[in-house]
Structure 1
Amino acid sequence: MIKNTEFVTRRARLLAQMDNNSVAIIPAAVELTRSRDTEFPFRQDSDFFYLSGFNEPDAVLVLNKDAAGNGTTTLFCRNKDKLAEVWHGRRLGHEQAKTQLQIDDTYPLSELDHQLAILVNGHKVLYYGQGTYASFDDKVWQLLSTLRGAPKKGYRAPEIIKDVRLLIHEMRLFKSADEIAVMRLAGKISAEAHIRAMQFAKPGATEYQLEAELHHHYAMNGARHPAYGTIVGSGINATILHYTENSDELKAGDLVLIDSGCELEGYAADITRTFPVNGKFSEPQKAIYNLVLEAQHAAFAEVKPGGTLQQANQAAMRVLTQGLINLGILAGELEELLEAQACKAFYMHGLGHWLGLDVHDVGEYKLDEADRPFAPGMVLTIEPGLYFDEDAAVPEQYKGIGVRIEDDLLITESGFENLTESVPKTIAEIEALMSNK
C-alpha cells in the first residue's frame, strides 16, 4: 500500500520543480453518468491521485509557491452532508482531509471560486493541464478573465501558463519502492487469474466465461476492477487487436488470446497469453507461437539500463521477419524486408508501452528527439504478436491464427525483473497446465 508520507513527498517534489511565484491547479475526476440516474464506477484522475491519494470526485488540489520559494498545498473537497452520505456513501470532508492527507489548508467545494481567485491572484506562472476536463477549463479561463479585468481591485492574472502534466508525468515514469511492491502484487494476482482461465478453458465454454473467471479472481484478491477492457478472443477473434465483445463459444482446434490485467490500488497489470482451447497446439499454431515467443525473448535482451524500446522492437522485428521468411509467409532478402518493415502486415502494433497508474502510462518516449534510454524504476510491457485473419496473404494453414505474448518488466540496475513471469508461456508448460485441470 502507498503510504500517505509518499503522497506528501510527491507534492513537495512537484513544488520544488515549480518556478518561484507560481501556482498549480490539479482537478480530480468527475462522476460520469452511465444512463439516466446511474453512474459508471468512479475512477480517480491518475495525476490527482498520484499527488493526493484522495479518491473522491470533484476535488481540486492547488500547490502554491511564493516568490521566496516557500510552498503550500490547498485542497477543496465535497462538504460533509449527512443526507447525501446516507444515499451515496461517506465523505471525508475538508476538516478531516487536512489531518488525514496532511494538506496545509482545506476548504469545502462551496468556497472554491472565492478561494481559488485568492490563491491564483498575483502569481506570475500558472501550471495547469488544459483539455482533460472541459467544464473545469471553463472555470479556469473565467477566473483568468476576471483577474485580468479588474486591476483596480488589485487583481493580476498569471502572465505565463505552463502544462503541469510535463512535470507530473516525468515523476510518474519512475516508480518508488512502494509503487513497485503494489505493481508486483498486481502482476501476481493477474498471473494467477490467467492460470485460472487456462485451466477453465474447454470447447463449449464461452469467451465471457473466461472473462468472468479473470474478474472473479481479481476481485477476490482485492482488485475490484480490471485495469482496462478485458480481451478474450478465440479463433478468428484473436486477430482483432482490441476485441472486447467476448461473446463467442470456444471451439476445439482454435487458439484463444487473453489480454487482461487487474487494477490494484490504482496501478495496472497487463498480461497477454495465447493458448489452445483443447489444450494442444497444432503444428501451424506451434510454428507461429514459438516465433512470437522467440521475438519476445530477443526483445527482452535489450531491456536494460541504456537500452531503448526502439532497439528492443528492432530485435523483435528481426526475429519475426526471419521466421516469416522461413515459414514461406514473406519472400525476399532479410535486410530489404526489415527496411520495408514487411512484418508489419502481420504485426501492426508497437512492442510495448509504459505501465503504472494508467495501463498506457505517461512519460516521454523520446528525449531531445532521440529514443529515451531505459533507466531503473521504469516499468513497461513487451508484447510482440502475429495476426493472420481470413483474408491474409499467407498459406492456408496459418489463416485464423492470432498470437500475442505480453509481460510486464521492471527496469533494474542490472537488467529487468519480469513481474508476470509466473504465467506459463512455453508450449510445454501451457499444455502441461491444461492437461492437469
Structure 2
Amino acid sequence: MNAPTDSAIAVDVYRQRRARVLAALRAAGGGVAIVPTAPEALRNRDTGYPYRHDSYFYYLTGFAEPDAVLVLNASATSNAPDASNAPQSILFCRAKNADREIWEGFHYGPDAARDAFGFDAAFPADALDTEMPRVLADAGSVHYLLGASADFERRLGGWLDAVRAQARTGVAAPHALRDLAPLVDDMRLVKDAHELAIMRRAAHISALAHRRAMQTCRPGVREYELEAELLYTFRKHGAQAPAYGSIVAAGANACVLHYPAGNAIAQDGDLILIDAACELDGYASDITRTFPANGRFSPAQRTLYDIVLAAQQAAIDATRAGVPFEAPHDAAVRVLAQGLLDTGIVPKARFSNVDDVIAERAYARFYMHRTGHWIGMDVHDCGDYRERDAARDASGALPWRTLQPGMALTVEPGLYVRAADDVPPEYWNIGIRIEDDAIVHEDGCELITRDVPVAAAEIEALMRAA
C-alpha cells in the first residue's frame, strides 16, 4: 500500500477541516455527511493495483488505508441521551488483524486511528450496517458525493431503508440527499500552508526528474528509457508514485497530446516532450518541458519554442488574485496567435492581423487545449472554473471564477504542428509544451517548478554539462 509518509501527522489540520464542514452543515440546517475512501481494485486475478486513497476522504482525514468511511454528524437532533456528547467525527476502518498484518503490514485499527487522527469515535468497518442507521435516524439530510459510486449509493439505500422501518417508533428517515462536493471543492481550491509545503516539495522532486531526463537524453535513446529515469528520481526522493501517466514523446509523437511513453527511438534532430511529475503525500505536481534530443534546438524549433515560452510568460504575468481564471489563457492565446501569423503557419494572405486569427480561432488547429487547470490532491484538481451562483451573461455563460490567494493552477501553453501541405515544411512534426505550477498571490504568482530550466539557452547548457 503506497500510503503517504507524512511522519508528523497534521492532526489539527484535518480536525479543523472537518470542523469547517460540520459548521457549514449546521448553518444549512444540520445533517450527516458520509465520505468513503476509494475501493481496492484488482489488476488481474489476485493481484491488485497499488492502492491510492480517495482525495476527498484523505483531505478530511489524513487516513490512507482502504476499507474506511468518514461520517460527520451535524444533526440538529440525536438519539443519544445527551446530544452534546454524541460523536460528530466518526471513522470506520479495518479492525486490527494480526494474521492479515503478516501479509500486508501495519494497520491502525479503530482505537489507534481514533487517537492518531483526532476522531471523536471509531468503529470497525464491518459495523457500518449496524451503526449507520442509528446515525441517520432523525438526521434530516444526508450529504455525500452524488454519483461518485453506485456501490456506495446502494449501501446508503439499505441504511435509509433500515431507518424507514423504524417509522412507527417515531424515528424519521432523512428527507433530503445533497451533494457534498461543492462545499469541499471550495475548501480544497484554496490551499493552506500544510498543503503548499507538500506541493513545493513535490514540485522540486519532479523538477529533479526532468533535469535527469534532459541530462541522460541523447539520440538513440528510447522513450521508455527516459520514463525510467523519471520514475527512478521520483522514488529516490521519496515520492510515492507518478501523479499521472508519464508522457514522453519523441519527434512527431509530441503532437499527440496524451501520448504515453512508448518504444520510439529519439532521432538526431528530434524534440522530446516530457509531461511528467510525481505525487507526494497525496499531492500532485505537473511539469512539461520540451528539449532537443541532441542538445541543440534547430532554428525552426527555437523559433516555435520561443513563441511558446513568450506565451507562457504572458500567462504568468496575467496570473494574480482578482483576475478571472480565463485571463492567463487569453494572454497566452494572443502571443501564440501572433507567432503563428509571423511564421506563416497561419497564412497572412487569409488573416490580416492577430485579432482576426483569434476571432476565427485559426490558432486552435495548432493549440487545442486550455492554458491551465487547478492542481492539488488531484492533478486536475476539483473546483468550478466558473462562478456557480453568479448571473449569466448575454450568451448564457457564467462568469469565470476570480483567482484568489492560495489557489494553485498550471500554466501550460503549447504549439503542435503536424505535417500538412499548407504549413511551411520546416515546422512539420514539431510539438512543444511548457508547463509550470503556480500558486496565486495578491500581486502575482509563485512558480514552484522552476528548479528545472525553461529558457532554451539554459536547457542547452544543462544538456552540454551532462
* Shift in CA distance, 392/406, structure 1 to aligned 2, threshold 3 Å: farther
| Secondary structure in 2 matching 1:330 | coil
TM-score, length-scaled by structure 2 = 0.91
Report the AA paired with residue 17 of structure 1.
A
Which residue of structure 2 aligns with residue 379 of structure 1?
A: 408
Task: Tell me by how many angstroms 1:229 deviates.
Answer: 0.4
More divergent stretch after superposition (250-259 vs 362-371): 362-371
Question: 367, 382, 406: which one pairs with 2:435?
Answer: 406
Aligned partner of 1:64 in structure 2 is 73
1:146 paired to 2:162: yes
In structure 1, how many angstroms separate the alpha carbons of the residues matched to 2:300 and 2:286?
27
The code of the aligned residue for 2:19 comes to A
Distance 2:20 2:427 in 1: 53
Structure 2 residue matching 1:366: 3-state secondary structure: coil
Q: Decide which of 120, 135, 138 is 1:119's aligned counterpart.
A: 135
Q: 2:102 aligns with which of 83, 86, 103?
A: 86
Structure 1 residue 13 corresponds to structure 2 residue 5: no
Distance 2:59 2:238 in 1: 20
Map of 2:235 onto structure 1: 219
Structure 2 residue 446 is matched with structure 1 residue 417: yes
Structure 1 residue runs of 5 or longer lacking an equivalent are none
One-letter amino acid matched to 1:208: Y
Q: Aligned with 2:52: secondary structure?
A: coil
Report the alpha carbon displacement of residue 131 of structure 1 after superposing the two structures with TM: 2.1
One-letter amino acid of the structure 1 residue matched with residue 103 of structure 2: W
After superposition, what is the alpha-carbon deviation per residue over 1:3-34, rounded to whole angstroms, capped at 9, x for unaligned? 11100111001111113331000001111000
Q: What amino acid maps onto 2:235 in structure 1?
A: A
For residues 130 and 392 of structure 1, do their structure 2 counterparts lie closer, same or farther at Cα, with a shift above 3 Å needed? farther
* Superimposed CA distance per residue, residues 193-248 of structure 1 (whole angstroms, 9 cap, x where no aligned partner): 10110000001111111111111111011102110000000001100000014221
1:309: how far off? 2.5
1:76 corresponds to which letter in structure 2? F
Q: Which amino acid aligns with 2:127?
A: E
2:419 maps to amino acid: E
In the alignment, what sits opposite 2:3?
Answer: none
RMSD between aligned residues? 1.4
User: What is the CA–CA distance in structure 2 between the aligned matches of 1:431 and 1:195, rounded to whole Å?
Assistant: 11
Offset, 1:392? 7.1
Aligned to 1:355: 375
| Cα distance, 1:254 vs structure 2 | 0.2
Question: Residues of 2 paired with 1:205 and 1:325: CA distance?
Answer: 35
Alignment of 1:247-286 (within 5 A): 247-286=263-302
**1:19-168 superposed matches below 5 A:** 19-67=28-76, 72-168=88-184
Q: Secondary structure at the match of 2:43?
A: strand
- Point out where structure 2 has 5 or more consecutive residues left out of the alignment: 1-5, 78-82, 391-397
Shift of the alpha carbon at 1:141?
Answer: 1.7
2:324 corresponds to 1:308:
yes
Deviations along 1:255-300, one digit per CA (max 9) or x if unpaired, are 0000011101010110000000000101110111111001101111
Cα displacement string for residues 35-93 of structure 1 (whole angstroms, at most 9, x for unaligned residues): 00000000000000000000111101000013279671111101111111111222110
Tell me which stretches of 4 or more aligned residues in structure 1 moved more than 6 Å.
68-71
Matches of 2:37 and 2:22, distance apart in 1: 18
Q: How many residues align?
A: 437
* 8 Å contact from structure 1 (residues 392, 399) kept in 2: no
Q: Residue 365 of structure 2 corresponds to which residue in structure 1?
A: 345
**Counterpart position of 1:196:** 212
Using the aligned pairs only, state the percent identity. Answer: 44
Question: What displacement does 1:142 show?
Answer: 2.1
Alpha-carbon deviation of 1:358?
Answer: 0.2
Structure 1, 45-54 or 216-225: larger mean CA deviation: 216-225
Residues 1:389 and 2:408 aligned together: no
Tell me how far apart the structure 2 counterparts of residues 396 and 256 of structure 1 sit (CA, whole Å).
Answer: 19
Q: 1:138-176, CA deviations, whole angstroms, 9 ceiling, x for partnerless residues?
A: 101222233234411444221111111111111000111
Normalization by structure 1: what TM-score?
0.97
Of residues 249, 270, 283, the one that matches 1:233 is 249
How far the C-alpha of 1:101 sits from its partner, in A, is: 1.1
